[in-house]
Every structure is written in structure tokens, then in C-alpha cells.
């Protein structure tokens, strides 16, 4: 039980990457347009889909960076 408490890290600067993802998707003026279209898809749809992929990449970056920090502790 004590090993788990010792291994758990605190807050890391890497978590700020989640704010980028959160703001980009939650703030409608960024994507509340139809143009430009991409392959016939309005901007709203492909912007949201792009952030699903970007969000997965950012989450992986944060995960691997914080795991590396936790292993070094």
C-alpha cells in the first residue's frame, strides 16, 4: 500500500497540454463556421474530428512524459 502512495506523482506541467485540447473544443467561436470545407465536410465536422486525433496524441504525450517522471522518482 505504501509503495502505491510513493509511486504516485503529483502535479506536472505536462497536464497543461490538456487545457489546449479543452479550450479548442469547448470554445465555439473557433469552429462555428461552414467554410472551409474539406472533402465536402463542413469545417465544424472536420475540426471536431481532427481534435479527436490531436487529443489522443496529446493524451499519449502526457501519459508517457508523466510515466517517465514517475519512474525517475
* pLDDT tens, residue by residue, 1-55: 455 555 555 778 889 999 999 998 898 888 888 889 888 889 989 999 999 999 9
> So what's the pLDDT on residue 9?
58
Delimit the domains of the chain by residue range.
2-72
Residue with the larger pLDDT of the pair 33 and 70: 33
Q: For residue range 16-31, what is the model confidence (pLDDT) as tens digits?
A: 999 999 998 898 888 8
For residue 57, is pLDDT > 90? yes
Tell me, what's the pLDDT at 7?
A: 53
As a whole number of angstroms, the distance between CA 11 and CA 13 comes to: 7
**Which stretches of the chain are DSSP H helices?**
2-7, 17-26, 43-72
List the beta bridge partners of residue 38: 41
C-alpha cell at 67: 510515466
Amino acid at each position: 500500500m505504501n509503495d502505491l502512495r510513493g509511486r504516485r506523482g503529483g502535479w506536472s506541467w505536462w497536464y497543461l497540454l490538456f487545457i489546449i485540447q479543452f479550450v479548442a473544443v469547448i470554445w465555439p467561436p473557433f469552429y462555428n463556421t461552414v467554410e472551409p470545407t474539406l472533402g465536402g465536410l463542413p469545417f465544424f465536422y472536420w475540426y471536431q474530428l481532427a481534435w479527436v486525433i490531436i487529443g489522443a496524441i496529446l493524451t499519449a504525450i502526457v501519459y508517457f512524459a508523466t510515466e517517465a517522471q514517475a519512474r525517475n522518482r
